[in-house]
Amino acid sequence: MSNSSETSARSVMVIYGTRPEAIKVAPVIKALENDTKLRPIVVVTAQHREMLDQVNEVFDIAPDVDLNLMAHGQTLNAIAGNVITKIDMVLEKHRPDAILVQGDTTTVMGAAIAAFNREIPVVHLEAGLRSGDINSPFPEEANRKIVSQIARVHLAPTMISRSNLLADGVPDENIHVIGNTVIDALHWAVERPSKNSIPGLADFEKDERRVLLVTAHRRENLGENMVNIGKAMRHLALKYPDLLIVWPAHKNPKVRASIAPQIEDLDNVVPIEPVDYGEFSHLIAKSDIVLTDSGGIQEEAPSLGKPVLVLRENTERPEAVDAGTVKLIGTDMERIIAEVSRLLDDKKAYREMANAANPYGDGHSAGRSVDIMNELLSTTQKQ
């Protein structure tokens, strides 16, 4: 949150709208709050209302501006138009010296365009991710390619991300490899004690069963793919009665309708409501295997030594695949069952994935990003 007493400090407007964005910008906001030369102006679009608020609460972040843009049934074009229009009004009022956006959501793309049109420098956190397929993930792959063309500073998490940006024609001097701030956030969260407040998992910390954590929500997996995931969960629960499967049920009713009917009669499958970031971090730490289509979890779980099986055919995070801690398995039911079974039955295969090196950083990426923004604004005029 901005500090009005620091009138001489340059302002960086941090704009985000979803839970994954909030997790990754939170360490940067905290670092900006502790900086003497910069101050954050925190703006949320609330693309994910409830889950966004949970993260802000965990990190004690109070937004300066809450646009609350989401409405039921909005199209992507409606969201994008709304973001550009409303962010433009906020930029006009606050006149920040730079904006920082993270990742690849519609909020990120719209905010970057609004700032670019006002000639306000755009700093892109987690720049350079590429799946190589413009339609997967959709619309994120297109969003991040658009932002890469208009950002002034590109904060890349890895050398592969840097190479992707160079291939897109981004000048080398505008790219900075800093690691991934999700590791900063994760370290912060797991160092704090669990509240043990997850309904249905009251004695979770004491449970001696092996745990399979399943998260699935991606737009491209809705429909038959999501049904396959539910069928695989059912088969695994019956095959391994001593396995506890935990499923944080996404708010999207299409996701719930595809999976819930297939697992509701099983005692060792526990559906839970989405939990706050702190509790979810402890959930990952307690799990033995993670089955997911999430992007962020591909970065978080390896840093805690957890094998990740990704329910996708491609990924914009190849570093963990190359390191051996993440494996792409798609959504074929038989393939899911086989890959999870392999890790449950083969201790050597499990150890090889669990002990692979984490390629995403050392937990100090937020401080590096603030240093780079200080350098940027030391050479630009105050707005």
**Set 126, 184, 279, 299: catalytic member:** 126
- Report how far residue 27's alpha carbon sits from residue 134's, in angstroms, rounded to the nearest whole number: 30
Fold assignment, 10-179+363-380: Rossmann fold (3.40.50)
Asked if the peptide bond before residue 40 counts as cis, ω within 30 degrees of 0, the response is: no
- Report how far residue 146's alpha carbon sits from residue 376's, in angstroms, rounded to the nearest whole number: 21
Active site residue 140: yes
Question: Residue 383 has what pLDDT?
Answer: 63
Fold assignment, 195-355: Rossmann fold (3.40.50)
* Structural domain boundaries in the chain: 10-179+363-380, 195-355
**Set 97, 140, 293, 300: catalytic member:** 140
**Set 124, 176, 217, 368: catalytic member:** 217
For 255, 284, 307, 328, the CA distances from 246, given in Å and listed in that order, are 15, 10, 16, 20
What three-state secondary structure class fits 337? helix
Contact criterion met (CB below 8 Å) for 221 and 292: no
Contact criterion met (CB below 8 Å) for 20 and 359: no
Per-10-residue mean pLDDT, the chain, length 383: 62 95 97 98 88 90 94 91 98 98 97 98 98 92 97 97 98 98 94 77 78 86 82 94 88 75 86 86 94 90 94 90 95 96 98 92 96 94 70
**Set 10, 124, 130, 250: catalytic member:** 250
- Report how far residue 22's alpha carbon sits from residue 137's, in angstroms, rounded to the nearest whole number: 19
Q: Would the CATH topology of 10-179+363-380 be identical to that of 195-355?
A: yes
Q: What is the 3-state secondary structure (H, E, C) of 252-314?
A: CHHHHHHHHHHHCCCCCEEEECCCCHHHHHHHHHHCCEEEECCCCHHHHHHHCCCCEEECCCC
**Set 21, 35, 97, 104: catalytic member:** 104
- Report how far residue 378's alpha carbon sits from residue 383's, in angstroms, rounded to the nearest whole number: 13
Active site residue 250: yes
Active site residue 21: no
Q: Tell me the pTM.
A: 0.83
